[in-house]
Amino acid sequence: MLVIRLLLLAAALAPLAWMTPATAAACGASAEGFPAWLDAYRETATARGVSPRTLDSALGGVIYDRAIIARDRGQRVFKLSFEKFAARLVTPSRLSRGRELLRRHAGLLREIENRYGVPGPVLVSIWGLETGYGADNGHFRTTQALATLAYDCRRSAKFTDELTDALTIIERGDMTAAQMRGDWAGEIGQTQFMPSSYLAYAVDFDGDGRRDLIRSPADALASTAHYLKGKGWRPGAGWAEGEPNYAVFLEWNQAGVYARTLAYFATRLAEGQ
């Protein structure tokens, strides 16, 4: 019966997988054309099988968010030197907290490593860098952020796909539109998954029947390990720059300064065990 239900669910969601960006309205650089773009997107989504209930909950009241555009244009932090970037993020308090969490979640992290091959210090480092270990998952309305970036011409196709994936998550009941809040570019949960990564790699590791990357550290950390494994993580191999797993850090975040800082942070945590 479980297999049958999964097949029926896959069939119901299949139309969302091949949704294409809205083409009846052009992308833009101001709020003026956003309502027309959003109406066109809703029509496309409806034609592809997204329910009116999902569209109303996800896109009702959505506006062009200038704060999102400002953040998208202002990512100067990644231009810092490694020394300055790492000093800002790998603080003594964050290291201390990371070591405490490694001890507290030692059993869980062993289970995750046994399944996916990714060691605890790597997962805890990502957890710490992304949200301060779940302390700040972000407060932006995800669908509004994604719709704004999808309408913006700079990366319209990419974020239109991400918006469609966010609707898929809502449509299948993994979370409601109201629960879907995160960082400004549409990242969700304690380790900041984009909707496309959520669909591909999120797992229910705590066994409660939901893939909850917002409230469940077990689901968030295991999903992160699943992602890294899917991107080529080699169990037992090194992760410092020049070693086999460093390339997987660049899959997580393409900014070289971030990847170097993540490798440094994970090494510091591993040495402190």
| Alpha carbon distance 224, 226 (integer Å) | 5
Q: Which residues are catalytic?
A: 130
pLDDT (tens digit, 9 = 90+) per residue, 166-209?
999 999 999 999 999 999 999 999 999 999 999 999 999 999 99
Buried b (16+ CB within 10 A) or exposed e, 199-237: bebbbbbbeeeebbbbbbbbbbbbbbbbbbbebebeeee
pLDDT (tens digit, 9 = 90+) per residue, 76-115?
788 899 999 999 999 999 999 999 999 999 999 999 999 9
Read off the tokens for 138.
């972000």
In 3D space, the residue among 61, 54, 58, 52 whose CA is nearest the CA of residue 34 turns out to be: 61
**pTM of the full structure:** 0.88
